[in-house]
Amino acid sequence: IFTKNNISSDLERAWQNDKDHVIHPYANYERFHEDGSVVYTKGDRHFIYDDKDRKYLDGIAGLWCVNIGHGNVEMAAHIGEQAKNLAYFNTFEDATSPSAANLAAKLASLCPGSLNHVFFGTGGSMANDSAIKIVHYYFNMLGMPKKKKILSRNLGYHGSTYLAHALTGISSTHIGFDLPKDMITYLSAPYPYRRPDEMTIQEFCDSLIEEMEHKILELGPETIACFIAEPIMGAGGVIVPPDGYLIKAYELCKKYNILVIADEVVTAFGRLGHLVASKEKFDVQPDIIVLAKGLSSGYIPLGATVISETIHKVISRPKPENPYFSHGFTYSGHALACATGLKNIEIMEREDFCGHVRTVGPYFKKQLKTLEDLPVVGEVRGSHFMLALEYVKDKRTKESFPAEINIGKRIYHSAKKRGLIIRPIGPINVLSPPLTYDKDAIDETVDIMKKSILETMNDLSKEGHL
Ligand code: PLP
């Protein structure tokens, strides 16, 4: 317990312990050994506090996930109650809990079409791994063992386990790891801002679909199991595909008997104004939807793979050589995690977070778009509470800054100094705040972004880069 007298020394010890013992996801070892990490200690709605009690606007909802906001007391009380009753018992074979059963039913009601069956895990990577294992198992059960290949896309992000990392099309992250990439083909990213100069957006969209069909025919449709895609790419840089792209890509999959996995780890649970976005926002019907992050608003780790009636019917047939569906994790259907998911959805529905995002999201984008007047802001893009700014050295040619300038990181530091946390990804900054963000928070965010970009431009100009 921290008291006024020991707070700084206890937190300093935590900082040191972290530096000495924690391996961070995506640790940057150019600076970590020297600087260590910022210790964050508490959160309240869309604010987060560090060890010096400095208050920040959390412009990234932790990591696209704390959708109902930090420090929700109703959620905290519910978690406490559930932990007292039953935190955990396994769900292998013949056991369950009310929360696992009822959350599965709730997700079946939220997901479109016949997506009625849910496999639980603890996060997005695990849910994507499960989706691929299920798809392979399905085609094996159908007597189509050649159908194994996976279509993914450059700049797609699907996680960090061995397979989910391989599905991820951000090639710089592959360096040094021996990922199982043999069964994966990466299609071009549907990145309108970076399309060839001579193409209109419509022509670009057509070229992506042509490329996809060409690849399918080259590989042989009889060898391709599935296509995995985020409806809007997140960690690749908030890339919104051209209108019609998703519908046409899904049509191709249907034509060639290729299953579609919609990775909605970021896009679901309100970020785009819908609890599940595939059908309601993009008018597409996947065979599998993958959920995590906002599913529990990050209060307890939780992920889900939601599959269609057609797939379920096949994988739930007992096989003569083994009656079991031999896939599962200790924490599949974790009672406390599922209770958290249920409460999260109850809060979101009762407080109409989706309605709030649909109302305020366009204002957020419109205000952020005003920053396109600045000479280094090449594009402000995204939708609702999933937005990004891409910086360029020359707006006309879209020439990028040299990578070592690290412009996204510089603007991140400048914004942090002013009380706003954003996410730097190369020359891009992402904004994906909790859904509690209101107009005041948006105005302050845009104001801080403007000052931070101007300050960084000033520095770059002094250094001769502008
Ligand atoms: N899929 C998408 C679209 C994601 O953005 C992420 C994480 O950022 C994942 C999958 C992986 O989820 P996790 O980090 O919970 O394993």
The arithmetic mean of pLDDT across residues 118-133, rounded, is 98
Query: Which pair of tokens denotes residue 292?
Result: 């995590």
What pLDDT does residue 319 have?
A: 87
**CA 159 to ligand 1 centroid distance, Å:** 5
Over residues 65-70, mean pLDDT:
98
Q: Is the CB of 152 under 6 A from ligand 1?
A: no
267 and 391, same domain (yes or no): no
In this predicted model, which residue has the larger pLDDT, 357 or 323? 357
Is the distance from the beta carbon of residue 124 to the nearest atom of ligand 1 less than 6 Å?
A: yes
* Interface predicted TM-score (ipTM) of this complex, two decimals: 0.99
pLDDT in tens, 433-448: 999 999 999 999 999 9
Residue 164 lies in a domain: yes
pLDDT digits (tens, 9 = 90+) for 406-430: 999 999 999 999 999 999 999 999 9
How much is the average pLDDT of 59-73? 98
Q: Is the CB of 238 under 6 A from ligand 1?
A: no
Q: Give the CATH number, domain containing residue 180.
A: 3.40.640.10
Nearest CA to ligand 1 atom 1: 158
Q: Which amino acid is at 364?
A: F
Structure tokens at 407: 């412009």
Q: Does 14 reside within a domain?
A: no
Q: Which residue is associated with the tokens 């896009």? A: 267
User: Do residues 419 and 333 both lie within one domain?
Assistant: no
Nearest CA to ligand 1 atom 7: 159
Q: Which atom of ligand 1 is nearest to the CA of 123?
A: 15
Give 418: exposed, middle or buried? Use CB within 10 Å, 0-12, 13-18, 19+: middle
Q: Which atom of ligand 1 is nearest to the CA of 233?
A: 3
Q: What is the pLDDT of residue 430?
A: 98
Query: Which one of 319, 350, 381 terminates a domain?
Result: 350
Question: In DSSP terms, which residues pair with 420 in a beta bridge?
Answer: 57
DSSP code of residue 240: P
Q: Which of 9-18, 206-215, 254-263, 446-455 has the lowest mean pLDDT?
A: 9-18
Same structural domain, 190 and 249: yes
Note the pLDDT tens digit of each residue in 4-51.
555 568 999 999 999 999 999 999 998 899 999 999 999 999 999 999
Q: Write out pLDDT tens, residues 103-123.
A: 999 999 999 999 999 999 999
pLDDT higher than threshold 70 for residue 79: yes
Q: Per the domain annotation, does 6 fall within a domain?
A: no
Ligand 1 contact, 132 CB (< 6 A): no
292 lines ligand 1 (CB under 6 A): yes
Chain segment 231-247, per-residue pLDDT in tens: 999 999 999 999 999 99
Query: Is residue 157 lining ligand 1, measured as CB closer than 6 Å?
Result: yes
Instruction: Say if 184 falls within a structural domain.
Output: yes
Mean residue pLDDT of the chain comes to 96
What is residue 1's predicted lDDT score, i.e. its pLDDT? Answer: 45
> Cα–Cα distance between 50 and 52 in angstroms, integer?
5
- Residue 175 in this model has a pLDDT that exceeds 90: yes
User: Is 199 found in the same domain as 109?
Assistant: yes
- The response to whether residue 123 sits with its C-beta less than 6 Å from ligand 1 reads yes
CATH number at 391 reads 3.90.1150.10
Give, to the nearest 10 degrees, the angle between helix 439-462 and helix 407-417: 120
Q: How confident is the model at residue 3 (pLDDT cuts 50, 70, 90)?
A: low
Do 289 and 156 fall within a single domain? yes
Q: 303 alpha carbon to ligand 1 midpoint, in Å?
A: 10
Phi, then psi, of 40 in degrees rounded to 5 = -95, 140
Number of domains in the chain: 2
Among the candidates 323, 350, 377, a domain finishes at: 350
34 Cα: distance to centroid of ligand 1 (angstroms): 28
| CA angle 150–233–112, rounded 5-degree value | 75
How far, in Å, CA of 136 to CA of 133, rounded?
5
Q: Tell me the best of 170, 173, 265 to mutate to test the pocket of ligand 1, counting ligand atoms within 8 Å of each CB and taking the most.
A: 265
Same domain membership, residue 288 and residue 374: no
Ligand 1 pocket, mutate which of 126, 238, 266, 423 (most atoms under 8 A from CB): 266
Residue 234 in contact with ligand 1 by CB distance below 6 A: yes
Please work out whether the CB of residue 304 comes within 6 Å of at least one atom of ligand 1.
no
* Residue where a domain terminates, one of 315, 350, 385: 350
28 occurs within a structural domain: no
Give 437 Cα–ligand 1 centroid separation in angstroms: 22
Q: Is the CB of 192 under 6 A from ligand 1?
A: no
Instruction: For a ligand 1 pocket test, name from 126, 157, 276 the mutation site with the most ligand atoms within 8 angstroms of its C-beta.
Output: 157
Q: Examine the domain organization and report whether 337 and 368 are in the same domain.
A: no
Q: What pLDDT is attached to residue 388?
A: 98
Both 360 and 346 in one domain: the answer is: no
Residues 10, 282: Cα–Cα separation, whole Å: 49
Number of the ligand 1 atom closest to the C-alpha atom of 230 = 3
263 lines ligand 1 (CB under 6 A): yes
Per-residue pLDDT of 276-305, as tens digits, reads 999 999 999 999 999 999 999 999 999 999
**pLDDT score of 320:** 86
Query: How do residues 86-103 score in pLDDT, each as one tens digit?
Result: 999 999 999 999 999 999
| Residue 241 within any structural domain of the chain | yes
Residue 466: pLDDT over 90: no
- Measured CA to CA, the distance from residue 371 to residue 197 in angstroms comes to 23
Please tell me whether residue 115 adopts helix, strand or coil conformation.
strand
Whether 155 lines ligand 1, by a CB cut-off of 6 Å, is no
| Bridge partner residues of 224 (DSSP) | 149
Examine residue 15 and state whether it is found in any structural domain, yes or no. Answer: no
Report the C-alpha gap between 165 and 225 in whole angstroms: 18
Question: The domain containing residue 143 runs over which residues?
Answer: 75-350
- One domain for residues 206 and 299: yes
Let me know if 114 is exposed, middle or buried by CB neighbors in 10 A (0-12, 13-18, 19+): middle
Whether 19 maps to a domain, the answer reads no
Question: What is the C-alpha separation between 61 and 130, in angstroms, rounded?
Answer: 26
Q: To which residue do tokens 């974790």 refer?
A: 334
Atom number, ligand 1, closest to the C-alpha of residue 63: 8
Is ligand 1 within 6 A of the CB of residue 434? no
pLDDT-above-70 percentage for the chain: 98
Residues 61 and 144 in one domain: no
Q: Give yes or no for residue 158 CB within 6 A of ligand 1.
A: yes
Total-model pTM: 0.97
- Testing ligand 1's pocket by substitution, the residue of 160, 293, 297 carrying the most ligand atoms inside 8 A of its CB is 293
Q: Within this chain, do residues 242 and 386 fall inside the same structural domain, yes or no?
A: no
Say yes or no: 346 and 434 in one domain: no
- From ligand 1's centre to the CA of 140, what distance in Å? 27
In 345-447, at which residue ranges do the beta strands (DSSP E only) sit?
Answer: 377-383, 386-391, 420-421, 423-425, 428-431
3-class SS shares of the chain: helix, strand, coil, % to 5: 45, 15, 40
Q: State how far the Cα of 346 lies from the Cα of 397, in Å rounded to an integer.
A: 48
